[in-house]
Amino acid sequence: MDINKALEDCSKLVIAAIHGTALGGGLEVALSCHYRFAVASAKVGLPEVKLGLLPGAGGTQRLPRLVGAEAALDIMVSGRFLGAQEALKLGAVDAIGEGDLLDGAKEYANKLIAEGAEARRVRDLTFDAPAELFEGFRKSIARKARGFLAPWKIIDCVEAAANMDFDAGLKREGELFLELYKSPETRAQQHVFFAERQVGKIPDVPKDTP
């Protein structure tokens, strides 16, 4: 969390250069930067829900401020990945480019400087989210999310982002993360997640065996 705050509070422009897959904490670091540049093949996402957790490094507080509450809820509760074009359309990234990552990021940085862009702190952005949005979203996932805790806690976090100041919302995110971390539901989801990845590996059989 300290690195996120340091990036956000820097007086000089901080631009995240994204390629490959920026997931979970990787995206949360990028969300703490003032601007985000991605290559066209990049993917981003906050898939912690698949491990029975929620994004615990400010993701539930910063993402809604960039893409809105409804889109943020969909992204975090589903755990799905976004391609660069969709991320750009929603506002999760600010620019995309082809070719070399560093060259593209430098070009984007020079463009921002030429335009006199300021260090934009995501924490200072605001968004509107009526109470009906959260109630409606809870109803929409009721059947699918039955027996799981993380989706509901994610909704609670985004609702806190809408109704509290940033620091209070961040504190609430941390409290709910710890609740999930200690829960049997989360441990069970993590067991299943890693077991599914182990089941296809047979000890002592070479990987190239048909």
Residues identified as active-site: 28, 48
Widest Cα–Cα separation across the chain? 60
For residue 44, what are the β-bridge partners?
22, 82
Q: Please say whether the beta carbons of 169 and 157 come within 8 A.
A: yes
